Structure 1
Amino acid sequence: MRSRTATWFECKIRYEKTMEDGMQKKVTELYTVDALSFTEAEASIIEEMSSYISGEFEVKDIKKAAYGEVFFSESPSADRWYKAKLQFITIDEKTEKEKRSNVNYLVHAATLEDAVKNINEVMGTTLIDYVIASVAETQIMDVYEHKNALKKKETDDRPEYEQDEPAQGAEA
């Protein structure tokens, strides 16, 4: 399991798909891309989909997705995306009352049970108290990460450009 924090955009693509019975049908599919802007999201989804779709297609809608993080599964059976709403529990020091803050995640898994297991696997490594408020399957077909983000050294999860320069105040 690996997770990734970024700015995510949901993109709807409309095209003519050849169905199993050989008939052509107009379909609209939902994809999520990592981008810095709407323009970059559109360019990214067009580039990604060009290799999968023969013929014309159009980007029908792009909206910013409210995912705090995306959890990617390495399991070959993981073929669905689930939206998970987690509540982080903190105690207000002044009033000593419990406070819950909601964060949405996108989780790659084969089943609902696997999605919950994946959430617990990632969140279990943190010291944050959390409650899984909801997990629901989405219509998202796939998630595409930014190309530069995929270039990583094997020893570290940070992109290469972050590793080449020492941190401020660090000795060289």
Structure 2
Amino acid sequence: MWYECKIKYRKTDDTGLQKMATEPYLVDALSYTEAESRINEEMSAYISEEFKITNIKVANFAEIHPFENCDRWFKSKVSLLAYDEESGKERKTNMYILLQANDVKEAFDNTTTVMKGTMGDYSIPAITESPIMDVFPYFSGEEGELEQMERFNALKASKPEVAAEVEDHMEFEPAAEEATV
């Protein structure tokens, strides 16, 4: 089960000023107690100063998918369409997927990639950027899972490639001034 944990700590911004920040993180845990323990452990590795857990709640994500060269998390609402034979009506069941992308269009494409193997019909009625800063999955440490954990962490940690700035060599004639009558 995924738990959203809000962490409050003193953060140094780009200008070097320190201010209090509250940021949400996601941890995979079996209980609130384990979620608290895991977020303490994970955040201690990143934040050297004191921090406070201000909230822990169950997150409603059906799946979490890191993608290579992406630095933001998006929440995709996916409506699964099913035909109810008893009532003769079409039913929608919504699920939420958290995935990495660099923008909404890429999040849509990544959602489509994730849903590729789905047998039934579905639609994607909403995609929003998530405030989630990072995701900490649970792996038991068994041999088969070690490789899976390393792959998950490598995907989520990969940074987007910065496109080289293209120099514009096009020349244009100065626009002829229009005569006003």
**Normalising by the residue count of structure 1, what TM-score does the alignment of the two structures yield?**
0.80
User: Could you tell me which amino acid in structure 1 is paired with residue 102 of structure 2?
Assistant: A
Q: Distance in 2 between matches of 1:49 and 1:153?
A: 22
Equivalent residues of 2:8, 2:51 under 8 A apart: yes
- Aligned partner of 2:86 in structure 1 is 94
Q: How does 1:72-151 map to 2 (within 5 A)?
A: 72-73=66-67, 75-76=68-69, 78-148=70-140
Q: How does 1:1-172 map to 2 (within 5 A)?
A: 7-73=1-67, 75-76=68-69, 78-148=70-140, 152=144
Task: Check 1:57–1:151 CA distance in 2 against 1; reply closer, same or farther (3 A cut).
Answer: farther
What is the aligned length?
149
Q: Percent identity?
A: 42
Task: Check 1:63–1:151 CA distance in 2 against 1; reply closer, same or farther (3 A cut).
Answer: farther
Task: Check 1:50–1:114 CA distance in 2 against 1; reply closer, same or farther (3 A cut).
Answer: same
Task: Check 1:130–1:64 CA distance in 2 against 1; reply closer, same or farther (3 A cut).
Answer: same
Specify every segment of 5 or more residues in structure 2 that has no aligned partner in the other structure, as ranges: 149-181
Task: Check 1:100–1:149 CA distance in 2 against 1; reply closer, same or farther (3 A cut).
Answer: farther
Q: Distance in 1 between matches of 2:112 and 2:141?
A: 25
Question: Which ranges of 4 or more aligned residues in structure 1 deviate by more than 4 Å?
Answer: none
Task: Check 1:149–1:98 CA distance in 2 against 1; reply closer, same or farther (3 A cut).
Answer: farther
Question: 1:87-133 deviations in whole A, cap 9, x for unaligned?
Answer: 11111112321111111111111111111111111111121210001
Specify every segment of 5 or more residues in structure 1 that has no aligned partner in the other structure, as ranges: 1-6, 158-172
Q: Root-mean-square deviation (CA), in Å?
A: 2.0
Task: Check 1:50–1:129 CA distance in 2 against 1; reply closer, same or farther (3 A cut).
Answer: same
User: Could you tell me which amino acid in structure 1 is paired with residue 54 of structure 2?
Assistant: K
- Secondary structure class of the residue paired with 1:114: helix
User: Could you tell me which amino acid in structure 2 is paired with residue 84 of structure 1?
Assistant: S
Question: 1:68-97 deviations in whole A, cap 9, x for unaligned?
Answer: 111221x12x11111111111111112321
Q: Which has the larger radius of gyration?
A: 2
- Aligned partner of 1:3 in structure 2 is none
Equivalent residues of 2:139, 2:145 under 8 A apart: no
User: Could you tell me which amino acid in structure 1 is paired with residue 33 of structure 2?
Assistant: T
